[in-house]
């Protein structure tokens, strides 16, 4: 009887131990699962936070770059018309990427709202200005004297025959391209030795006595409204666009911020060639 009772007791204890062991193993497994899940969750959060931080750093670096000379990654490139047209004053006054301050009978006073990314380069010892904002390459200077519109076109042909900076596709800019160079504030100034430009200006004023006085941009007679990366001699230039009138073409005046037209034979406008980057 005693042996039988002990056997039942040990059997009961054994079953109880097995049950407790099973429960203990269950809780251990549950604990392991919780620990593993927690570790995975923490690791995932850490990696996500690290990736976010890295992205933030790269974004900040990109932002820092956009504040430097390279704006090409910050905004989509502006595409300006490159083919010539016959345009009226009303059509010119609807020009894109331009802030018009004052409309005139023949055009307008204003400036470009394009944020340029100019890079000055020398190719075969000849200077060009690349504008990554518009995809254009400009002759850094241009003609050293004024000429009528027909001579300006012949000047371009000679430039292409020579192959300035290794290129043979230079052209007169369209009025949109030429107006894109207009700055909202004076960037160049007359210097004492700037006798040729001063003489041109004097002759120009004799035919256009009110033009600069009417400019809402102008505060004195010393400014030129284009970036100093360009040669300052070319204070006003011809474009390749013609006006809705016989023998007249559009031009841009960087002395007063004026876009208007003039007759072909007027001899005081310069040439600043441009080409489209491939």
Task: Give a yes or no: residue 79 inside a domain.
Answer: no
Checking if the pLDDT of 74 tops 50, the result is: no
Task: Return the pLDDT at 4.
Answer: 52
Same domain, 111 and 61: no
Task: Return the pLDDT at 213.
Answer: 61
- Phi, psi angle pair for 226, to nearest 5°: -145, 160
Same domain, 102 and 176: yes
Q: Are 229 and 118 in contact (CB under 8 A)?
A: yes
Same domain, 38 and 148: no
Task: Return the pLDDT at 215.
Answer: 73
Same domain, 60 and 158: no
Task: Give a yes or no: residue 74 inside a domain.
Answer: no
Task: Give a yes or no: residue 75 inside a domain.
Answer: no
Same domain, 42 and 107: no
Task: Return the pLDDT at 186.
Answer: 85
> Tens of pLDDT along 128-166?
999 999 999 999 999 999 999 999 999 999 999 999 999
Q: Residue 196 — very low, low, confident or very high, per pLDDT cuts 50/70/90?
A: low
Number of C-alpha atoms within 13 angstroms, CB side, residue 231? Answer: 20
Between 250 and 20, the more confident residue is 250
> Tens of pLDDT along 46-69?
434 443 333 333 333 333 333 333
Last residue of a domain, one of 36, 68, 100: 68
Same domain, 170 and 249: yes
Same domain, 5 and 118: no
Checking if the pLDDT of 73 tops 50, the result is: no
Number of domains composing the chain? 2
Last residue of a domain, one of 68, 99, 125: 68
Same domain, 91 and 63: no
Tell me the residue range of the domain where 58 lies: 1-68
* Residues in a beta bridge with 110: 100
Range 35-45 average pLDDT: 44
Q: What DSSP element (H or E) covers 163?
A: none
Alpha helix segments (H runs only) across 67-148? 89-92
Last residue of a domain, one of 22, 39, 68: 68
Task: Return the pLDDT at 212.
Answer: 56
Task: Return the pLDDT at 256.
Answer: 86
Task: Give a yes or no: residue 76 inside a domain.
Answer: no
Task: Give a yes or no: residue 52 inside a domain.
Answer: yes
- Phi, psi angle pair for 131, to nearest 5°: -110, 105
Three-state DSSP at 51 gives: helix
Task: Give a yes or no: residue 73 inside a domain.
Answer: no
Same domain, 153 and 237: yes
The structure's pTM equals 0.69
Average model confidence (pLDDT) for the chain? 76
Same domain, 27 and 157: no
Task: Give a yes or no: residue 80 inside a domain.
Answer: no
Q: Residue 1 — very low, low, confident or very high, per pLDDT cuts 50/70/90?
A: low
β-strand pairing of 236-243 with 86-87: parallel
Same domain, 177 and 269: yes
Same domain, 37 and 92: no
């Amino acid at each position: 009887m005693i042996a039988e009772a002990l056997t039942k007791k040990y059997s009961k204890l054994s079953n109880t131990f097995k049950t407790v062991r099973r429960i203990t193993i269950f809780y251990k497994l549950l604990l392991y699962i919780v620990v593993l899940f927690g570790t995975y969750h923490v690791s995932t959060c850490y990696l996500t936070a690290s990736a976010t931080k890295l992205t933030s750093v790269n974004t900040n670096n990109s932002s820092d770059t956009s504040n430097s000379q390279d704006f090409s990654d910050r905004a989509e490139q502006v595409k300006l018309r490159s083919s010539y047209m016959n345009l009226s004053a009303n059509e010119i006054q609807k020009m894109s990427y331009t802030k018009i301050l004052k409309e005139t009978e023949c055009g307008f006073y204003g400036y470009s709202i394009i944020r340029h990314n100019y890079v000055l380069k020398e190719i075969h010892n000849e200077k060009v200005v690349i504008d990554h904002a518009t995809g254009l390459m400009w002759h850094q200077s241009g003609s050293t004297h004024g000429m009528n519109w027909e001579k300006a076109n012949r000047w371009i042909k000679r430039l292409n025959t020579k192959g300035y900076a290794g290129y043979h596709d230079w052209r007169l800019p369209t009025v949109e391209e030429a107006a894109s160079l207009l700055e909202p504030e004076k960037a160049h100034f007359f210097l004492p030795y700037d006798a040729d430009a001063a003489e041109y200006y004097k002759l120009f004023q004799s035919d256009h006595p009110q033009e600069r006085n009417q400019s809402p941009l102008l505060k004195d007679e010393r400014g030129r409204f284009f970036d100093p990366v360009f040669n300052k001699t070319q204070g006003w230039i011809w474009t390749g666009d013609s006006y809705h009138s016989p023998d007249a073409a559009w031009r841009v005046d960087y002395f007063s911020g004026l876009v208007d037209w003039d007759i072909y034979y007027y001899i005081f406008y310069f040439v600043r060639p441009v080409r489209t980057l491939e």
